[in-house]
Structures are given as structure tokens and as C-alpha cells.
Structure 1
């Protein structure tokens, strides 16, 4: 049976928490609530030094378990036990980070783990550097619904332009990926809601697992989502199609025009029909392009820093926790 880690990605508010819970309901798979561990640990890897040294693994593990913003406590994993096992475990960045999720899976009696955080779509380099055997599951939802939902989130501080850009970016990264077919999979939120059995059966074929009917009832395991995240309240209810297309009553006409002007070809490529709204006015398109340019510059800057860092790795990066990972790394069994 497969040991490969599963990563759920997408534009925020695409339904990734529902999909997380569907996977978590599978008897072999555990997918925890979101943490802020993986990307930051990777970006700061030079700080931790060569992780073949136990003292460096201890420092990284202590930051993960006791850092103020890692959200480790949401996992219910024993901090001291995690630190002990990280120090005793394989000497690589991915091994220490992956142990977090492996221990979460153990806590739930599961063999295999996954992770869900929508912005991972922007950080596939980090995910794949640490977990070369990762399977990426990209959940896609009508961009207009994503924009409408983002506007309502207490944690989203951007404007309409940023909301539109976040969806465009996720779609463009997904369409531009160069991963093999067994490493990247797309599915639509609307299909997942309308035909959970069929859509999840296809997903299970991709990840190499047998479909289990429990996956259709994600609300039964919704207690894994921290209660203070009130914006996930719908995951505590049965799967429904009622939220699909609700953008039509949640977006103003000008917002619909901006969405369809900017996202039109992307929307239709995924089977979403346009309303025929008039083209967005120049001022709105100018504001959007300014926002998009700013985000693209940041992505280019980050990519440049990464290229430099790759030449100065302080130690092994890829996880060495499973037979598959050790084989990929050329480590004898």
C-alpha cells in the first residue's frame, strides 16, 4: 500500500477543508488542521544548520513544537515525545517536519498522512524538496465563488483585486505544473458536492487507496478542525450543493465584471459558464494589474532567493521516513 504523503492545495475558500475532512475520514489516511510549519521551516533551513547533527534537530523540533505561531498545539501531538523522536530520527529537514504529521496519523490510528493548506500551491518547490514522493491534490472551485467568500473572511485583508488574483494565480500554477500524472491531480468542488462517491472514487484511484463510504460524511470527523475557526462552520454539516454558484447574490455587478473580464478564459476552461457581464472599466482593470504585478514581483524575488539557497544547502532536505523516500534518496534499506 502507498506511503506517499498527500497535499491538498488550491485558492483559499475552494472547499479544501471539506476535502481535508473527506480524506481524514478514510480509515488509512489522516489529514490534520492547518499549521504554519512546513513553508517556514523550509525557508529558514539555513538557520537550523546541518540536521544530521542531533542538536540541530532538537532546535528545529523545539521551534516546531513550542513556536508561537506554528499551530502545533492544534494537532494534539505530545510536544516532548515529538522532540525526542525528532532527535532520534533521520537527519534531514523533511524527516523532522514529516514526523509532525506522521505522529498525528499515529494518534488517529492511521497508516498514512496528508496535509492541507491552500497556499501550498504557491510553495510546491518547498513541498517537493522535502517530500519528493508527494501527491498534490488541487481542488478548484468557481473563481467567482472563491472571490465572494474571500471578501467575507475576517482574516482576508486584501481587496477585490487581490481576491481575483489569488484564484488566477492558483489556476495558472496548476496549469503550468510539470509534475507526472501520478503526482498531480485536479478535481472540482462542484463535482465533489454533486457526486461525492464518483469524485472521491476517482481521487482514491489517484492516491492508491480503496474508496470508503465514510468519506462522504466529512462532518463526522469535523472535530479535528479547531472550533475557533468559525469560517469553517459549514464543514460540520452534510455535503451540499447549495453554496455552488452563490456568488450571483454575493458579488456586485462591477465585481462580476472584473471576475469575468480577468478570469473568463480560465473559468470556461474548467466548465464554468459566464454571464456575459460587460467588460470591467479601465480603472478596475488598472487596479487589478497593479495588484497582480506586485504579487508577481514577490514570487520572482522568492524564486531568486530559492535558487541561491539551493546552492548553499546546510544539510539533507528530503524526508527519509519511509522505504519509498529512502529509495528516492539512494539510502540503503
Structure 2
């Protein structure tokens, strides 16, 4: 069971990913290792609200979506020691010249285009499968403390507090000028700065 989860929120490009990566490698914390959009948006995609907003409040949480999300967070979570090994492997892969050439060759201008997007997705799918197998063989003993970070969670804090009433929130801020500059740089690289199509 998930107890006292840590939810990192902040504006996109404010340092939430850096903090999440550090926390997710802490042995006492568990995480799903990536943003939780696929878990949250199975029942609560922006399209449900007519694409007006990704914001969610406590009234959006249903018994069905609560049960499914809690199950998925628990099923997909792994301890920090697991994610440290994954991140070390990913770091070595990034340094591999063949991998860099494949990524450059497949890179297109559009978000989600070509091989460069397919490789990380295939890797993510393999990691998700490995976590599921790991949890079947060695399920968590007792409660777990989950760390979660998805930029849209800034617009979903009441929703998350309804899902996890005992959650601890870390709200990250960055100097506005640096944050806007980083957002603008990200917009120039659509293959690394995803959005809704």
C-alpha cells in the first residue's frame, strides 16, 4: 500500500525532473520512474473536458478511477535502487556512439517522429515489463513511499490530495526569467519537448 507519497510539482522546466531523478534513486522511495500521464489520463484525459484544460479537482476522482490509479501506481512502482541501475544503464547508452547515430538519423522535426521517439518508447515499455516481473517475484514488503512528478500536477493538486490524503508536496520554483528562457529553448526542440497533438 502507498503511504505518505511525495508529489513534486512546479512549472515545466523549473527543475522538477532533476529533483525527481535524485529522489527516485533514493532507496527508501519508490517511483514509476517516469511521468504518470498514462495512469492519470486513462480516466482523466483533457479530451474528457473538451481539451479546455488538464486541470483536475477532487470532484473529478471517481471510485473506479481511484481504485485503478492506486493499483497502477503500486504495480508500476519500483524502489530507488532499481531506478539507479536503470539510470546508470541509460547514461552508458547515451555515451554509446552507435546509439547517438541512430537517434540522430531517426530524428524528425515533429514531436513523436521517427526512430528517435520509438527507441525511448520501446525502452520504456521494456522497463515497465521488467518492473512488473520484478514486483511479481519480489513484491514490496509493507507500505511504500511513492515519489511522483508530472508537470500537469500543478493543475491537479486538489485531485492528488483526494487520491493521496497523506501526501507531502514539494513545490519547486525557479527564477521566472530562467524558466521562460528554458521553455523557449524547449519549444525549439519539439522532439524533446512533448505536447498534445
Give the TM-score normalised by structure 1: 0.30
Structure with the greater alpha carbon radius of gyration: 1
Structure number with higher relative contact order (C-alpha < 8 Å, ≥ 6 residues apart): 2
